[in-house]
Structure 1
Amino acid sequence: MRTRRGISYPKVNNICCEKRREGNENMIHSRKRFKPSSGTPVVTLSGQCDFLDTLPDDIVLFILAKLGATAGCPSDFVSVLSTCKRLNALGVHSLVLSKASPKAFAFKSENWSESAHRFLKQCSDAGNVEACYTLGMIRFYCLQNRGSGASLMAKAAINSHAPALYALAVIQFNGSGGSKTDKDLRAGVALCARAAFLGHIDALRELGHCLQEGYGVRQNIVEGPAVFGSSQRP
């Protein structure tokens, strides 16, 4: 439509098309997750900012390590790893897994799976002493992998892990995983004494029996009952 001065009004259809085109472009852009530039928070689908992406890796690792160390069950920690790719990658860092609490990988037997086995192995490979002991016990007694299980328990025992020391002592006493001739009573007593020194009650009680009966060690009818009695005290 033209005016007297020769100026044309834009057609109504053109205006509607342009507005529709602009609206579609805005809708497309709003669906995209913008990659952050340096120090710029990410825009989420709801239009809010994701400030997690502005944090450096060392701070995120520190937070995840604290979370893993205080987790009350596996889902408390594993559910966070499934939040995004970045948390999933940083969550399995050795600095995080080495400090994970025993409850973070305390999988129940009905929930045991290959992924649980893999996660527990990642923790043990990261140097988590409790994970080494737990995976060692599972492999030795449940999966019948004696060599690997004993090796993992020994790895924990080297780091003065009392339950691992006592578990190895029981293996030496019983000759578990081998024949009766594979028993090493002296080694069992030595491991038991070390675990008892670290405060393991069952090891202290077993050491008392060994001293009293002369089992793997020279009999001492005075020290034996005394050691056994100390294990009964609260």
Structure 2
Amino acid sequence: MLAAKAQNWSESSHRFLKLCADSGNVEACYTLGMIRFYCLQNRGSGASLMAKAAISSHASALYSLAVIQFNGSGGTKSDKDLHAGVALCARAAFLGHIDALRELGHCLQDGYGVKQNIAEGRRFLVQANTRELAIVLAANPSAVSPSSWLTCNPHRHAAGGGCPLLSDFGCNVPAPEAHPANQFLSEWFWGRNGGIPGPGLRLCSHSGCGRPETRRHEFRRCSVCGAVNYCSRACQALDWKLRHKVECTPAERWADEDGENEDNDMVNGEEAMEES
């Protein structure tokens, strides 16, 4: 897997990734597509490279294009295409992409871009968590204590770097490792701009994401505290389990500086994030 580093980014590394992409390396297409779209703000070229990877059934590329469609990234609020986002997400989920499974599950539960089907949505959420656990066990069987299989504690919160799964499983696993492209985005924006991608813009609050807003108020906020924002329901679900569940405190109704809040994107953390 290609792993470009933001701190070492240069024209030569850009050319190398482009050569790899031109030679048909789908991972290079996806990684360079993400870098161009979000970091270099070359939206057209970046989206085209991600689409090239998606055509080759690259699950992360399909999911990233879904996030772009859900948010209307690179355009205006009216450029959102929820149906296209769901279709791309479904394809990525079919390929086993965990975030896509989680995103599709929340879309089905909420009726977001697709006809509401709560039972089917929960099935996708269970599948996402099952795959998440299976990956951890395959990589490190000792990551989950055997006793956790026998003890169900649905009220347990995240501790340290662990990520509590469904209360049906009652176990705790390490946080999933971010894709190199997402690691690059995080390093790029935190290393160069202190986590501020541009005037009035915000990064996704999930530490494993790194996606920035491409316009003001593009991402959804937690409607309880208003202190965090997310590019997707999947990122919101993960951050809720990893961190925000123990940090979120109700606050007085927050107001946007210029009144341009995209209200339909706000989600209550407790209602949207519980997957059990």
TM-score computed with the length of structure 2 as normaliser: 0.47
Separation in structure 1 between the aligned mates of residue 128 and residue 26 of structure 2, nearest angstrom: 25
Q: Specify which structure has the higher proportion of helix.
A: 1
- Aligned residue number for residue 118 of structure 2: 221
Alignment of 1:166-205 (within 5 A): 166-205=63-102
- Aligned residue number for residue 12 of structure 1: none
Separation in structure 2 between the aligned mates of residue 216 and residue 126 of structure 1, nearest angstrom: 36
Instruction: State the AA in 2 paired with 1:230.
Output: Q
- Aligned residue number for residue 29 of structure 2: 132
Separation in structure 2 between the aligned mates of residue 107 and residue 190 of structure 1, nearest angstrom: 29
Separation in structure 1 between the aligned mates of residue 68 and residue 99 of structure 2, nearest angstrom: 14
- Aligned residue number for residue 150 of structure 1: 47
Instruction: State the AA in 1 paired with 2:48.
Output: S
- Aligned residue number for residue 147 of structure 2: none
Deviations 1:153-192 (A, max 9, x none): 0000000000000000000001100000000000000000
Instruction: State the AA in 1 paired with 2:50.
Output: M
Higher relative contact order (CA 8 A, sep 6+): 2
Identity, % of aligned pairs?
Answer: 79
Deviations 1:6-38 (A, max 9, x none): xxxxxxxxxxxxxxxxxxxxxxxxxxxxxxxxx
Following superposition, the deviation at residue 126 of structure 1 comes to 0.6
Are residue 209 (structure 1) and residue 92 (structure 2) matched?
Answer: no
Separation in structure 1 between the aligned mates of residue 123 and residue 23 of structure 2, nearest angstrom: 41
Instruction: State the AA in 2 paired with 1:155.
Output: K
Give the aligned CA root-mean-square deviation in angstroms.
0.7
Instruction: State the AA in 1 paired with 2:103.
Output: E
| Deviation beyond 6 Å, 4+ runs, structure 1 | none
Separation in structure 1 between the aligned mates of residue 119 and residue 105 of structure 2, nearest angstrom: 10
Following superposition, the deviation at residue 107 of structure 1 comes to 2.3
Are residue 165 (structure 1) and residue 62 (structure 2) matched?
Answer: yes
Matched positions, count: 131
Report the more deviating stretch, 207-216 or 218-227. 218-227
Separation in structure 1 between the aligned mates of residue 11 and residue 54 of structure 2, nearest angstrom: 26
Instruction: State the AA in 2 paired with 1:232.
Output: N
